[in-house]
Copies of this chain bind each other. A is one copy, B any other.
Amino acid sequence: MRPRPISWRDVQIDSGFWGARQATNRDRTIPAIYHQSKITGRLEAWKLEWKIGQPHEPHIFWDSDTAKWIEAVAYSLGTHPNPEFEQQIDQVIDWIAQAQMEDGYANSHFIAVEPQNRWRNLRDQHELYCAGHLIEAAVTYAQATDKRKLLEIACRYADHIGRTFGAAEGQRHGYCGHPELELALLRLAQETGEPRYFQLSRYFIDERGQQPHYYDQEARDRGEDPRRFWAKDYTYLQAHVPIREHTGMIGHSVRACYLYAAATEIALESGDHQLLATMRKLWDELTQRHTYVTGGIGSIHTIEGFTFPYNLPNESAYSETCASIALIYWAQRLFSLEPDSRYIDSIELALYNALLSGVSHEGSLFFQANPLEAHPQVSPYELWNTMMTGDYYQRTEWFDVACCPSNLARLVASVGTYFYSLTPDRLYVQLYNQNRADVQIGGSHVHIEQRTDYPWDGQITLTLTPDQLTTFELALRIPRWCREFRIEINGVAVSLTPERGYAVIQREWRQGDTVMLLLAMPIERMVSHPQIRQDAGRIALQRGPIVYCVEEADNGAALATLALPFGSPLTYEFDAHLFGGVGTITGEALRLDPAQWQDQPYQSESAHEIARTPVALKAIPYCFWANRQAGEMRVWLLKS
């Protein structure tokens, strides 16, 4: 049996690293998103009161933002009830119910703004994408609250889509430019037990990229030349060829990973080995050649996506917050295919680094892109301003295209679902953090408690409380970054060799059994593949799953010449006063002394001894960068 993640509802996280992040998410992030959604008119858009010429014209993306806000709140309600949140959502659901058309269609932009254009531009208009998020919100809200009103709306809409799209004559043979509905339909199928939603998802996956090309035809139907597609070609949206012919990571990162996540799940369910092999190959390509040391993906802002293998610029890294989420979705499904901890390694790396960088520490400011290097005079994502003096890149309250804030909020709220996976006889412990969880395994109910200061400390104590003596395998994930570990069962050391990244304890478990896992967590100096030209001659500091960066706030400016001598001592220290308590790394570095330089931009090394001055270095977790004054930041430090 393939492992499945346990429900987020069964994992209670009230303290530790993720406890704090979830509290901030509930107390600051979700209210901030609600506020922004309200003042921009996103929620009220569903009232369909907008008229031409009025402000707040409903935008094609808005329904997805609202849906993700609902879903984020729903995840949070599942473990932390909040009547005020619930009331806000129920109000919007009433509006959606009133807005939904007789035939099931439900899209605030197309109903209010351009009803004549329904389904006329699947390539660009995100109509099915919005439907997907509405469906996901409905499923999660039903799971969290047992209220089914939104789920019924979603089913009616999904049925309308099912009538509209498909292989039959008279149906449209199209699919969304931005995959997401595919994932949503799989969740709807699972929630409702209706295989037709699974079939529809599979149809969208299979139809994508077929010839004659739907987007060509659709463009011609609109009187447009398909060759004048703004993104140039269909690689941007992974519709250049059918999915079974995909050979590399290409195009928009979020679209790619949503698509492949759904395709992996479908291939798993349907035993499609060819498609599974394609997915595995693409994953290897992604993680071996297109991933930043922070776990982020997508190296170019123009297409928010992939370029060529090993091309990973730091200052202009896109590493979109949403792309980390999409990568996590895909990894989770690949783990079901092949229970190897490397998929969870990718999840953990993205979670602690590229993803969390997307929100300020206090919780109400957001990054869409998460560069690995910053300079106060560089605005790396403005085409015109590229590398020019511009506004400092900093987190902002909101975006016109605000996909990331609510997406991040729903991921953080649902992070518990990544903590454990289950087969009938094996419990995988995937992520480590204070939590209490409840699972059904080996015919018993088992309560699990994790006590740990992870990721700042590598010691994790699990207490298992089965309601009866129960035999099952406890599979403890040994992260790839860990080269030494120790396990004690009820205080007695056991020797275990990890299999596919897991130390597996088979045992008859009794109430109060404790398992202590100690993961050695030295500071590592990471070096990059020789083909990654942007990191050549540099190192990144990592300890456990946390990737570090240096900031001007701690180290002064001109960070590029800050060099770490080979093998020089580095000290890890927990700073209880910084960001509510984080681990920092200090040491001695060398830097070029600007006083050695008068006017010349270049001088001969042979002409003078170019003195380097010893300076104190302090690194902080990358995910907490840009929470103090504006200034330089860099992950990759010069090697001395």
Q: Is the CB of B594 within 8 A of A530?
A: yes
Q: Is the CB of B302 within 8 A of A384?
A: yes
Q: Which B-chain residue is minimally distant from A290 (CB atoms)? A: B601
> Which chain A residues numbered 243 to 291 have a C-beta less than 8 Å away from chain B?
284, 287-289, 291
Q: Does A1 count as interface, using CB distance less than 8 angstroms?
A: no
Chain A 293-305, CB-CB to B under 8 Å as 1, else 0, gives 1000001101100
Q: Does A574 count as interface, using CB distance less than 8 angstroms?
A: no
Q: A530-B591, A530-B592, A558-B531 are in contact. Are A525 and B604 (CB under 8 A)?
A: yes
A300 to B390, CA, bound (A): 13
For A167, the chain B residues whose CB sits under 8 A away are: none
Q: Report the stretch among A110-118, A306-314, A470-478, A578-586 that lies at the interface.
A: A306-314
> Which chain A residues numbered 296 to 336 have a C-beta less than 8 Å away from chain B?
299-300, 302-303, 307-308, 310-311, 313, 316
For A639, the chain B residues whose CB sits under 8 A away are: 537
Chain A 94-134, CB-CB to B under 8 Å as 1, else 0, gives 00000000000000000000000000000000000000000
Q: Does A377 count as interface, using CB distance less than 8 angstroms?
A: yes
For A232, the chain B residues whose CB sits under 8 A away are: 384
Q: Does A221 count as interface, using CB distance less than 8 angstroms?
A: no
> Which chain A residues numbered 363 to 398 have a C-beta less than 8 Å away from chain B?
375, 377-378, 383-389
* Contact among B303, B601, B605 with A291 in the assembled complex (CB-CB below 8 Å): B601
Q: How far is the CB of A521 from chain B (nearest CB, A)?
A: 12
Q: Does A79 count as interface, using CB distance less than 8 angstroms?
A: no
Q: Is the CB of B537 within 8 A of A300?
A: no
Q: Is the CB of A530 within 8 A of B386?
A: no
Q: Which B-chain residue is minimally distant from A557 (CB atoms)? A: B531
Q: Does A191 count as interface, using CB distance less than 8 angstroms?
A: no
The bracket for how many chain A residues form the interface is 35 or more
Q: How far is the CB of A367 from chain B (nearest CB, A)?
A: 20
Q: How far is the CB of A611 from chain B (nearest CB, A)?
A: 11
Q: A300-B387, A537-B563, A540-B602 are in contact. Are A308 and B530 (CB under 8 A)?
A: no
Q: Which B-chain residue is minimally distant from A301 (CB atoms)? A: B386
For A375, the chain B residues whose CB sits under 8 A away are: 311, 533
Q: Does A616 count as interface, using CB distance less than 8 angstroms?
A: no
A638 to B527, CA, bound (A): 15
Q: Is the CB of A385 within 8 A of B311?
A: no
> Which chain A residues numbered 223 to 244 have a C-beta less than 8 Å away from chain B?
232
For A597, the chain B residues whose CB sits under 8 A away are: 529-530
Q: Is the CB of A602 within 8 A of B293?
A: yes
Q: How far is the CB of A444 from chain B (nearest CB, A)?
A: 39
Q: A377-B311, A525-B606, A591-B530 are in contact. Are A601 and B386 (CB under 8 A)?
A: no
Q: Is the CB of B539 within 8 A of A605?
A: yes
- A interface residues, Cβ below 8 angstroms from B: 232, 284, 287-289, 291, 293, 299-300, 302-303, 307-308, 310-311, 313, 316, 375, 377-378, 383-389, 481, 483, 522, 524-534, 536-540, 542, 558-561, 563, 566, 591-594, 597, 599-607, 610, 638-639
23 contacts between A and B (CB under 8 A): A288-B599, A293-B601, A299-B387, A303-B384, A307-B388, A307-B389, A308-B389, A310-B601, A375-B533, A383-B383, A522-B606, A525-B605, A525-B606, A526-B603, A527-B610, A529-B594, A529-B601, A530-B560, A531-B594, A533-B558, A533-B560, A536-B560, A537-B560
Q: With contacts A311-B377, A530-B597, A537-B639 known, what are 17 further pairs, Cβ within 8 A?
A: A288-B600, A289-B601, A299-B387, A300-B387, A310-B601, A316-B387, A481-B604, A524-B607, A526-B602, A526-B605, A527-B603, A529-B594, A529-B597, A534-B560, A536-B638, A537-B563, A537-B638
